[in-house]
Every structure is written in structure tokens, then in C-alpha cells.
Structure 1
Amino acid sequence: MTRELSDVLADYLALRRSLGFSLNRDAKLLAQFIGYLGERGTTTITVADAVTWASLPVGGSPGWLAFRLAVVRGFATYLHTLDPATQIPPRGLLPGGTRRAVPYLYSPSDIAALMAQAETLKTPLRTATIQTFIGVMAITGMRGGEVVALDDDDFDPGRGLLEVRHAKLGKWRRLPLHPTTVTAINDYRRLRDRYFPVPVSPALLVSMAGTRLNYINVGQTFARLARRAGLAGRSGASRPRPHDLRHAFAVATLLDWCRDGGDVAARMPLLSAYLGHTEPANTYWYLQAAPELLAEAARRLDPEDRKPRQREPR
């Protein structure tokens, strides 16, 4: 690895990590890329070298090759401010790339079906753990990783709050809970404590060994429950995932706001803060995530259909 590029890479990673990005995979790939440049005896990034290196893995998927090039593009953009000779690979040079998955929007009956299927799990603790995981995600819109990372001390039953300390980009927030949710979490804790009077871990939700849940394992269990519940994806790009409980929460909230005639734009910062988004622009994505929202927006723009209407039961 050339010394000059090594120093610049360290500065680049330090800068982005100060903004909350972990960049472990990016750091590894960029170190490999700089090593590749060193082997070729060059210290200047060119589009040709970037594309050649990104395309090196034999049998790599188009998405993976495009990701490799995107990592180089980010570093090259930073380096170009220091060395104008650095070439920035334009977007679209390689096929593939990431596309945001189409969310599967759960209905109340879908969530009830998942809860019912969880009753078939091997032990009462496993059943209660998965049901509580699903319930917390559905009622708060938290990310699955945030739910798994909750410690028992993050739950304040007296004030009815969850403290989310291990959030994306290091953002911290407190979420108010409905009394029924507080009761459900307290019921789970009592059952958990009967299994483990002496805690094995500080986690709120625990595995059958008393340790913190593994999100990958939870996802695999969730997928089995979804299949047994008959929750079929609308397409290959829209299949039931735990993360879609978060999408369903956001869409349901926006639908309620649209239907009650309030100022949705004024409320968006509140939803952004609740979801832990860095800015409202990230939350606006949900406006195009569901046909129901688009239809409701169109209805509100129709002068003949702006009269208040009786809300339908949900």
C-alpha cells in the first residue's frame, strides 16, 4: 500500500466515521484497492483502474461489483478535492447496484397470523420472545437491530418509555408506549425471569440460552412463520421481512394523518424523529411506498372529495 494514499484513506475513514458511519467493509475494500494500485505502480485513481479492480472477483454478482465501484467512487470524490488529477468513476458504469426493496405492508390480520404461528414454537419462552419482538416492531416502528439491542434497563415501565441507544448512525431517542404495550413487555419480563432468575445477559429479549438474540436467527424464524401464515409476497421484490413491520407502521401513521385532514407536511418531522431518521427527506420515501397513500393523496387534491368523511374501522 502506498504511504500517501494510505494516509489519505485514514483521514477519509476518520471523517466519515465521525459522522456515524462504521465503514468496516468499505475500509477493507479500499485497502485492497490501494494495494492493487501499488502493485501497478500508480498513486492516482483513474476510471479505468477503478472499473478493472471492481470487476476482478470471478463470478461476482452484478450488485457486488457495482458496490465495489461505488465504494471507490466515494473515496475518489473525497480525494479529488485534494488531487484534481483523481478521476471519479461516474455512476452506471457497471450493471447492478442496490435497489430499495418494495415493502410488504402488513395488515392487522397479517400480524395476528404471525403471532398465532409463533404459538407453535418449541417453548413458551421462545414463543413469547418472538411475539414480543414482532409486537414491539409493529407498534413502535423500530428497526429490528434496535429491538435486539435493547437492554432491560432501556425499558421504563413507570413512564411507559423505551430508550433506543443503539440506533443507526448513533442517533438516540425515547419512544412513548401505549399502556397495553407496557403490560405486554412486563408480562414477557416476568416469564423470562422465571427461566433465568440470575440474568445471563442484560438484554431485554433473550434466546433460549438467556443470551441476546441474534438478528439473523430471528429473521430465519420470522420467515418460517410468515410462510406458515400464508403471507405471500406480491412479487420477488416484495416478500415479508421483519423490517417491513417498520414500513407498515410508518405507512399506517401517514394514512391516519391523511384521513384525519391534518397537515401531513407539518407532522413529518415528528415521524422522522420517532423513526430515528436523520432528516424528514428520508421519511418522505414512505409517501411512494404504498398505493394506499398515493390514492389518499390524490383524494385530498380533488376539490370535490375534500369533505370530511366517516373513518372506516381498521
Structure 2
Amino acid sequence: MSRQFRSNLAQTIEAFLEQKHTLGFKYCENERYLANFDAMCAGQFQNETTITREMGMAWAVSLPNESRAGLSRRMSSVRELAKYILRNGEEAFVIPTEYGAVPSRKHIPHIFSHEELQLLFTTADRCFENDKFPLCAIEPSVLLRLLYACGLRPYEGRTILRENIDLDDGTIFIPESKKLKDRVVIMDSTMLDICRRYDEKAKLIVPDSAYFFPSHGRTSKCHDGHWPARVLNRCLINAGITEFTGNNPRPYDLRHTFATRTLLRWMQEGYDLDSCLPYLSAYMGHEKFQHTLYYIHLIPDFFPEILPRVASKFASLIPEVSI
């Protein structure tokens, strides 16, 4: 534990974090929030030894320029701490869930067409050539192809460690992904060849990098969380792909496209989806099987010609459509 806590809650916070770490949670961002909460308590509530209503409501005040999602994450950390105190038989105020609640918004993913994917990847190959750091000119095209070809979550792609990608057998080990689930992803021969050629160049430029996609040559640091979105948006603009019927594409939509097109291909080839879906679920690292079934729900929207084949078998999962 790298942070120092100074309030009367210091020992409680440290014990709570130790429990989380013991259970396998990294809890890095939450530890930062709790350090800020501890600083507030040390400055404004020096005599309190547990979380009171006054402390909780003071923490629940939205900060300048704070997003709803940021407020929600900040509230969640202190809420969990209060529940920990209650489980240990002491009194504590739990911040009500309506404070920091993020309104649910249904995001309809953009499923890329074959033409859009081809144009996107071709553009990614050339639109970063003028970047000052040489590796930045070739990283984007590999990242975007990897997100699509392997159905990776954006953060899984950008944080790949060199030791976790085996360019001999074409596998990528994804440790502690969503809900701390490990999995192994297999690349096809085309993606493996692209990664091998990229790695040969990367090792010449940053031979000691711990990450497959090092941030501007820093051996121990990967790109920040906004990098995939910056890369995708720049490619879309340069490719002239700017008109969309629904939401603007996000890096995550490359993963959605992989899953949807995989299911579509299986249907067209006559595979039994009951048998295939568990494999796709495990490959993508879904916590629940229902998360994989979600992609069947998308198919009628983007590929209406396939609807008759799946309507009877998965009718409960497919919405009614009007022609």
C-alpha cells in the first residue's frame, strides 16, 4: 500500500484495502478516492471515528467539472468502505445510491461493414506517418486490427504485456480481465503475421519495453485510456467515414463487430449456435452467458436477411421489427 492515511479512519481504510487486495482486487483507482476522502476527514472531521451522515453528504457534493460517471465512482468507494464498517459491527452512514447515480443510456453499437473496416485499416496504415516518435506511426493500425480480429476490449488491447503475447503459437494471455477472469485469445494467421512484423520493428526502437504498445518509447508505461478513441477518431476522419445513422463508432464497437460477424458467419455456415455460443462467450471473457446472447439481438438490426433463420430458435431474444 503506497498511500499514507492521516484521519481517524486511517486504520479502518488500510484494513479495508488489505482485504480487497487479499481477495485479488487491485483497487488502485478506489485507493486514490479513499485517500482523498481521508484527507477531507482529516481536515474537516478531526473528531470522528466512523463515517457520519455529515461526512458522507460532504463527500457527495459534486466537484467542479466532475462528470456524473466520475461522481458515481467516487461515491462507490466510500459506500463500500461504510458497508465494510457495518459488517464489522460498527455504525456507519452509507451514502444513498441516488447520489452519484448515472442515468442509464442505451448505446446502440456501430457494426462496421466490410467496406468500412477495409477503409479504416488502410487509412490507419498511413495517417500516422508524420508522428515524431517512429513507433507511433505503426502502432495504431496494429491496435485497431487486434481489437477487431480478436474481439478485445480496448483496455485489454492497449495494455498487452510483451510477456503475455506469444508470437510463436499466436496466443495472447489476458490476465485479470473483467471480474478478474483470465483467458487466452488465439490470433488467426493473418493477425499473427501482422503482430510479428510489428514486434520486429518495435524491438529495434524500444527493446526493453514491458508493453506491446509502449507509450512514446517509455519502457514501463502503456498508452492512456483515451488513446484507442483518439486513434479511431483520427482514422475515421481521414478515411472520410463521418456519416452514421446511429451513434458515432467507439473502439469498443470493433469488439461488437467481431462478435456479431462471428455469429453471422456461423449461422450462414449452418453451425449449431447452442453448441458454439459457449465458445464465443469464453473467448470474449464474458462474465455471463447472457452477455453473449446480446449479439443475437443485434443481428436483425444490422443483417435483416438472416432473421428467418434465427427467429424461431431465439425468438425471445430478438425484438419485433416493422417493415
The alignment of Structure 1 onto Structure 2 pairs a total of residues equal to 300
Is 79-88 or 108-117 further displaced after alignment? 79-88
Q: Is the 8 A contact 1:129 1:205 kept in 2?
A: yes
Q: Is the 8 A contact 1:80 1:88 kept in 2?
A: no
What residue number does 1:75 align with?
Answer: 81
Q: Is the 8 A contact 2:278 2:289 kept in 1?
A: yes
Deviation at 1:138, TM superposition (A): 0.8
Matched residue SS, 2:173 = strand
Q: Equivalents in 2 of 1:251, 1:206: separation in Å?
A: 30
Among 196, 209, 220, the residue aligned to 1:201: 209
Deviation at 1:114, TM superposition (A): 1.2
Q: Is the 8 A contact 2:160 2:174 kept in 1?
A: yes
Matched residue SS, 1:163 = strand
What residue number does 1:178 align with?
Answer: 188
Matched residue SS, 2:84 = helix
TM-score (norm: length of structure 2): 0.73
Q: Is the 8 A contact 2:60 2:99 kept in 1?
A: no
Q: Equivalents in 2 of 1:142, 1:166: separation in Å?
A: 13
What residue number does 2:248 align with?
Answer: 239
Q: Equivalents in 1 of 2:214, 2:11: separation in Å?
A: 43
Which runs of structure 2 are paired with 1:99-110 in the superposition (5 Å)?
Answer: 101-110=107-116
Q: Is the 8 A contact 2:178 2:287 kept in 1?
A: no
What residue number does 1:66 align with?
Answer: 72
* Letter of the 1:180 counterpart: T
Q: Is the 8 A contact 1:272 1:280 kept in 2?
A: yes
Establish whether residue 52 from structure 1 lines up as the match of residue 58 from structure 2: yes
Is 181-190 or 137-146 further displaced after alignment? 181-190
What residue number does 2:144 align with?
Answer: 134
Among 15, 20, 30, the residue aligned to 1:16: 20
Establish whether residue 273 from structure 1 lines up as the match of residue 279 from structure 2: no
Q: Deviations over 1:265-288 (max 9, x none)?
A: 554442232123344354455455
The 1:131–1:8 alpha-carbon spacing in structure 2 relative to 1, beyond 3 Å, is: same
Q: Deviations over 1:243-268 (max 9, x none)?
A: 32122212223344555565545544
Matched residue SS, 2:184 = strand
* Letter of the 2:301 counterpart: E
What residue number does 2:260 align with?
Answer: 251
Q: Deviations over 1:164-209 (max 9, x none)?
A: 347455543322222222233233344546x54x824254445674
* Letter of the 1:150 counterpart: I
Q: Deviations over 1:92-148 (max 9, x none)?
A: 245645757543322222221111212233168655432222111111012333333
* Letter of the 2:127 counterpart: T
Q: Equivalents in 1 of 2:136, 2:40: separation in Å?
A: 48
Matched residue SS, 1:175 = strand
Deviation at 1:153, TM superposition (A): 4.8
Gaps of 5+ in 2: 1-5, 316-323
* Letter of the 1:7 counterpart: Q
Matched residue SS, 1:55 = coil
* Letter of the 1:254 counterpart: L
Gaps of 5+ in 1: 306-314
